[in-house]
Chains A and B, each alone.
Chain A
Amino acid sequence: MISNNLFTSLVYIFNNILSPITEIKDYLGPNDLPYKIPIHPNLVHLTIGLFAIGIAFDFAGAFYPFEKRILRFLAFPVTRVGFHDVGWYNILAASFITFFTVATGFFEMLLAVPIEGVKSIIGQGAITTMLWHGVGGVLILFILITMTIWRGYQRFVYRKDFGRQVSWSYLFSGTIILLIMGLHGSLGAWLASDFGVHITADQLLVNGKEIGSILQ
C-alpha cells in the first residue's frame, strides 16, 4: 500500500516536474508544437538542395572542357562562368538559410516527445539519435560556413584569374560533406518516421487517443 502510494507519487513527480515541456503543455497541440506543421523539415529542403546543387554545378564548371562540345552540339546557351556562378551563389544562399534551419531544429527538438522503446535501423534510441542530429547539425552549419568562405576566397582571390574557379580539394570536400549530410538527414528522417516526433497521427496513436475525431 505504502509502496503503491510512493509509486504513484513518483509517477506524479516524473509526469509533472521532470520534463520542462509539461510547463507549457496547454499551449501545445497533439504534435507537441504550438503550430501544426514543423518548420525545420521545410528549411532542410533549402539547405540540402542548395548545397548539393551548388557543389554539382562546381563539378560541371570544373569538367567544362569535356562538356564544351556536347553543350555546343545541343546549342545550349551556358558558360563556364555561369556554372561557377551557380556554385557560388547557391552555397552562399545555403549558408544563410542554414542558420534558420538549425535554430528551428533546436526549438523543435526541445519540444520533441519521441515514442518510447523504439530503435532506429542502426540500433540507436531516440535520445542518441537526437543528440547526434543536434550536435551534427551545428557541426554541419560550421562546415557549411567554412566551405562558403573557402569558396568565396577561391572566387575572388586565389583563383580569380582561373577558368576553373574551384580546387579539386574543394570538390572532394563537398562530396564528402554531401555523404555526411545524407547520413545526418537520415537520422532526422528517422526521428519522424520511426520515433514519431511532431507527427500528429503518431502521437495520437501512441497516447491511445481517438485518431478519427481529429483527423477524419
Chain B
Amino acid sequence: MYIQLGLVVMSLLPALNEKNLPWIDVIHPIIVHFVIAMTLIAVVFDLIGIFTKRSNLFEVSFLNLIVATIAIFIAIIFGQIEAGLASPYGSSKDILNYHSTIGWSLAAILSIITSWRYVSRQNNPNNLSIGFLFVDIMLAILVCIQVYLGDKLVWIYGLHTVPVVNAIRDGII
C-alpha cells in the first residue's frame, strides 16, 4: 500500500527536462544575483561612506543588506531543490556539500549582521563602527568563497547542463 501511495505521490511530481529540472532553467543562480550583488555593494558603499563622510550611503548599504537577507532564503529553497536534482559525481559531491553548508551558514550570518545594523542604526544612523566594517568585509570574503564553489559546480562539473545530465543518465559518469 505504501508503495502505491508512493507511486501516486511520484506521479504528481512534474516531469524533469533535459537539464534534470522541473522548470526550464536553473533558478538558484538567478536568485543569487541579489545576494551577491547586494552584499558586495553594501561593503563598497560602507567604505566609500566612511572615506568620503557621506552618511547617506550607510542607509543605501543597509537597505541593500535587507534585500540580500531576504534573497538568501529564497536562494536556499531553490538551491536545495536543484541540488537534490543535480546528481553530483566525483569531487563535485564534496564541493556541493561545502556549498550547502556555507549557504545555510550565510543565511544565519547575514540575518545577524543585518539585525545588528538595524540596532546600531537606531542609535545613530550617521555613524558606522569600524567593528561592523570588519565583519562586513569578512562577509564579502565568505560570499566570494561561496560564489567560487558555486562557479566550480557549474563551470567545471557542469551540473544541470545538457551534456552532463545525458552522460549521467547514460551511466557514462
Contact = CB atoms under 8 A, between A and B. Distances in A.
Interface in A35-94: 36-38, 41-42, 44-46, 48-50, 52-53, 56-57, 77-79, 81-83, 85-86, 89-90, 93
B144 to A, nearest CB: 9
B41 A93 contact: yes
Contacts, number: 137
Given A31-B155, A78-B59, A199 B167 contact: no
A49 to B, nearest CB: 3
B161 interface: yes
Interface in A73-120: 77-79, 81-83, 85-86, 89-90, 93, 115, 118
B63 A86 contact: yes
B56 interface: yes
Contact of A82 (B30, B32, B59, B90): B59
Interface string B20-42: 00001110011011101110110
Interface residues of B, number: 48
B141 interface: no
Interface stretch (A1-9, A17-25, A158-166, A185-193): A185-193
B32 A196 contact: no
Contacts of A46: 36-37, 40-41
A201 interface: yes
Interface residues of A, number: 49
B73 interface: no
B160 interface: yes
B25 A53 contact: no
Interface in A160-202: 185-186, 189-190, 192-194, 196, 198-202
A82 B164 CA distance: 46
Q: Give chain B's interface secondary structure class.
A: helix
A36 B153 CA distance: 12
A121 interface: yes
A57 B64 CA distance: 10
8 closest A-B pairs by CB: A49-B37, A201-B158, A216-B90, A49-B33, A82-B59, A202-B163, A45-B36, A199-B158
19 contacts: A31-B155, A31-B156, A37-B152, A37-B155, A42-B151, A45-B36, A56-B67, A78-B59, A78-B63, A89-B60, A90-B64, A192-B154, A193-B19, A196-B161, A199-B155, A201-B158, A211-B172, A212-B90, A212-B173
Interface of B: 19, 24-26, 29-30, 32-34, 36-38, 40-41, 44-45, 56-57, 59-60, 63-64, 67, 89-92, 118, 121-122, 125, 147-148, 151-152, 154-158, 160-164, 167, 172-173
